[in-house]
Amino acid sequence: MRFGIGILGLRRSGVWKRRGDTVLPRVSTAVGGKFVGDRVSATMAPTLKQAYRRRWWMACTAVVENLFFSAVLLGWASLLIMLKKEGFYSSLCPAENRTNTTQDEQQWISCDQQEEMLNLGFTIGSFLLSATTLPLGILMDRFGPRPLRLVGSACFAASCTLMALASRDTEVLSPLIFLALSLNGFAGICLTFTSLTLPNMFGNLRSTFMALMIGSYASSAITFPGIKLIYDAGVSFMVIMFTWSGLACLIFLNCALNWPAEAFPAPEEVDYTKKIKLIGLALDHKVTGDRFYTHVTIVGQRLSQKTPSLEEGTDGFISSSDIPGTSEKTPEKSVPFRKSLCSPIFLWSLVTMGMTQLRVIFYMGAMNKILEFLVTGGKECETNEQRQKVEETVEFYSSIFGVMQLLCLLTCPLIGYIMDWRIKDCVDDPTEGTLNESASFGDARDGTITKFTKPRYRKIQKLTNAINAFTLTNILLVGFGITCLIKNLHLQLVAFVLHTVVRGFFHSACGGLYAAVFPSNHFGTLTGLQSLISAVFALLQQLLFMAMVGPLHGDPFWVNLGLLILSLLGFLLPSYLYYYRSRLEREYATNLLDPQKVLNTSKVAT
């Protein structure tokens, strides 16, 4: 999950065009806008200006589409029950375990071999759900979100169609479930990844809509539990899958009509045009003399130059980036990618995220088997009545787990609030802190004030927020692991809540950390690489599942104990962040009177 926000750092250029009282985006001809315009007209895709007018429709439909079509594979516990009832891979079970109830209806009895095979399909699908973020980020930058969303919706429709066709004759067509689950996972990440570009259209509301997109993605695990209720009501599995496939075609149609071929540029990466107002000369206590000189120079050059808008007959105005020599070269652009890749923060984040991903995915894949063990106490069911009671109990708790996935809609904005705590009260660098200090002592000469206020730096505050976020997430993860060790069925409700909260937290916390300590031009690649490595870690859940149902005879205690010990490694990342923040605070304090030293230092932790 934030699984997938890496592409936000890679955008095409654009400008804003004023039409009446509304500011609308358009493609800049200086960066190939004519070619893009020709391509848009050729494909009948809307322009960025048209898409901006439809942004509320696109955002609302994207939330609904994420909720019902993105990471639905995370509701595996309910899908597994339906697949077992349809007889997928039941041929692996001994013949004496299968009984014919009527001539037209067959009741399938499951076995460990069947669950191992189906869990392998889930492992592959969930791997694609996370591992393809890196190549998707590259493709997104090259082709934009529109073609990937079209491909994703088509793959989802194909996935549902394959599951429906395979259910007609599961003894022969059961292997199709692997292809269906693979397409489902790939389609889910395509839909999620492309929807994360939409919040760029909402300016100051971008963080709010980003949280909604991530929350709807994480809550999509509720979809299969909802479908299972329809299945239990008597609707056939084939009808459900074909209907779902048809609904996926509506996503394809909606994307074809409303999504532009051009990527949505982020507000801070767009060449914003603005009118020259006298209020722009107003200064606050944080503006230094150098910045005041630069600001006045820009205004003077604007007034002395011939405005392009007068030549073109438009209402646009030039911005500060149009003035030669006013754009500053940020030091982070010169940081080599290898330095970010080998930094301790990134390496420790790989350990933390990989371990957390393995813990979360294993529980989702093995939850039904864990619940079954808690109900039976590890004993075999001797009668059909006992077996039926166990199945009903497992299905009941699986449904509760699915409903609790809606908590992600609340937890994702919460962790976003933690990551943004007090950011507005911070200054960017020691340059502004120096002004605060000099202003305080200047007032002291007048006899008015002698107190020096220590500035709060933005990067240090982001590190503090990341420490708090990861510490909270790891505490919840350890609490989840302890809960899993207790063999109490009712206590699993607490485990459901902790699992859902952790799943909503750790991706958002990681994305906020990368944005705070790494250059923005490295953000996308690092996020995609982290998702890929975490997905590789998650592949181990198949081996753990086989060990649990094999040598351990269904007892999850030793696997949960090992994962609990492994989860303690998650505290190493916030510990190193605390050390790095302390070192950074000392550097800022040392260079407070000479801020140019700090401005020239690398942004990457070493």
**If you average pLDDT over residues 173-190, what whole number do you get?**
91
Tell me, what's the pLDDT at 204? Answer: 62
> Which range has highest mean pLDDT (6-10, 174-178, 192-196, 218-222)?
174-178
- Based on the fold, state whether residues 259 and 336 are members of the same structural domain: no
Give me the CATH number covering residue 490.
1.20.1250.20
- Asked if residue 75 belongs to a domain, the reply is yes
Tell me, what's the pLDDT at 251? Answer: 92
- Based on the fold, state whether residues 401 and 549 are members of the same structural domain: yes
| CB contact at 8 A, 166 and 174 | yes
Cα of first residue to Cα of last residue in the chain, in angstroms, is 27
- Based on the fold, state whether residues 252 and 338 are members of the same structural domain: no
- Based on the fold, state whether residues 54 and 182 are members of the same structural domain: yes
Residue 74 pLDDT exceeds 90 = no
Indicate the DSSP class of residue 109: P
pLDDT band, residue 512 (cuts 50/70/90): confident
Tell me, what's the pLDDT at 106? Answer: 57
Distance between CA 519 and CA 337 in Å, rounded?
9
User: Which structure tokens are listed for 191?
Assistant: 């839909």
- Asked if residue 393 belongs to a domain, the reply is yes
Residue with the two structure tokens 């039941």 = 90
Give the burial string for 163-199 (b: 16+ CB within 10 Å, else e).
Answer: bbebbeebeeebebbbbbbbbbbbbbbbbbbbbbbbb
- Based on the fold, state whether residues 150 and 233 are members of the same structural domain: yes
User: Which structure tokens are listed for 539?
Assistant: 């592949």
Residue 538 pLDDT exceeds 50 = yes
pLDDT band, residue 591 (cuts 50/70/90): low
Tell me, what's the pLDDT at 412? Answer: 76
- Asked if residue 235 belongs to a domain, the reply is yes
Indicate the DSSP class of residue 380: P
Tell me, what's the pLDDT at 600? Answer: 52
Tell me, what's the pLDDT at 47? Answer: 80
**If you average pLDDT over residues 236-257, what whole number do you get?**
93
- Asked if residue 392 belongs to a domain, the reply is yes
Indicate the DSSP class of residue 107: E
Residue 593 pLDDT exceeds 90 = no
For the chain, the domain total comes to: 2
- Based on the fold, state whether residues 383 and 523 are members of the same structural domain: yes
- Based on the fold, state whether residues 243 and 388 are members of the same structural domain: no
pLDDT band, residue 301 (cuts 50/70/90): very low
**If you average pLDDT over residues 423-450, what whole number do you get?**
53
- Asked if residue 309 belongs to a domain, the reply is no
- Asked if residue 144 belongs to a domain, the reply is yes
Tell me, what's the pLDDT at 403? Answer: 84
CB atoms within 10 A of CB 474: 25
Tell me, what's the pLDDT at 183? Answer: 93
| CB contact at 8 A, 141 and 269 | no
**If you average pLDDT over residues 430-455, what whole number do you get?**
50
pLDDT band, residue 404 (cuts 50/70/90): confident
Tell me, what's the pLDDT at 11? Answer: 39
- Based on the fold, state whether residues 387 and 480 are members of the same structural domain: yes
| CB contact at 8 A, 527 and 6 | yes
Q: Which of 390, 408, 51 lies closest to 212 in space, CA to CA? A: 408
Q: Which of 237, 253, 271 is the last residue of a domain?
A: 271
Distance between CA 388 and CA 381 in Å, rounded?
9
Higher pLDDT, 597 or 477: 477
Q: Which range is least confidently modeled, 30-34, 192-196, 526-530?
A: 30-34
Residue 308 pLDDT exceeds 60 = no
- Based on the fold, state whether residues 259 and 393 are members of the same structural domain: no
Coil, strand or helix at 36: helix
**If you average pLDDT over residues 300-315, what whole number do you get?**
42
Tell me, what's the pLDDT at 460? Answer: 84
Partner residues linked to 18 by β-bridges: 23
- Based on the fold, state whether residues 518 and 369 are members of the same structural domain: yes
Tell me, what's the pLDDT at 34? Answer: 39
Tell me, what's the pLDDT at 95? Answer: 65
Coil, strand or helix at 434: helix
How far does CA 248 lie from the centroid of its chain? 21
Per-residue pLDDT tens over the stretch 34-70: 334 444 334 577 887 888 888 899 989 998 999 899 8
Tell me, what's the pLDDT at 275? Answer: 34
Distance between CA 160 and CA 158 in Å, rounded?
6
User: Count of alpha carbons within 13 Å of 465, Cβ hemisphere only?
Assistant: 30
Task: Give percent of the chain with pLDDT exceeding 70.
Answer: 70
Distance between CA 93 and CA 111 in Å, rounded?
6
Q: Which of 271, 291, 317 is the last residue of a domain?
A: 271
Distance between CA 67 and CA 450 in Å, rounded?
56
Higher pLDDT, 603 or 201: 201
**If you average pLDDT over residues 430-446, what whole number do you get?**
48
Distance between CA 587 and CA 460 in Å, rounded?
11
- Based on the fold, state whether residues 466 and 565 are members of the same structural domain: yes
- Asked if residue 434 belongs to a domain, the reply is no
CB atoms within 10 A of CB 78: 25
Tell me, what's the pLDDT at 325? Answer: 44
- Asked if residue 375 belongs to a domain, the reply is yes
User: Which structure tokens are listed for 598?
Assistant: 């700090």
pLDDT band, residue 108 (cuts 50/70/90): confident
Tell me, what's the pLDDT at 476? Answer: 94
Q: Which of 255, 271, 287 is the last residue of a domain?
A: 271
Per-residue pLDDT tens over the stretch 328-360: 444 445 678 888 888 999 999 999 999 999 999
Q: For the chain, how many residues are written?
A: 606
Tell me, what's the pLDDT at 493? Answer: 92
- Based on the fold, state whether residues 261 and 338 are members of the same structural domain: no
Q: Which domain holds residue 23?
A: 1-271
Higher pLDDT, 600 or 148: 148
Provide the mean pLDDT of the chain: 75
pLDDT band, residue 320 (cuts 50/70/90): very low
pLDDT band, residue 364 (cuts 50/70/90): confident
| CB contact at 8 A, 457 and 426 | yes
Per-residue pLDDT tens over the stretch 253-300: 999 998 888 877 755 555 433 333 333 434 444 444 444 344 444 444
Q: CB within 8 A of 238, min separation 6: which ones?
A: 164, 167, 168
pLDDT band, residue 414 (cuts 50/70/90): confident
pLDDT band, residue 241 (cuts 50/70/90): very high
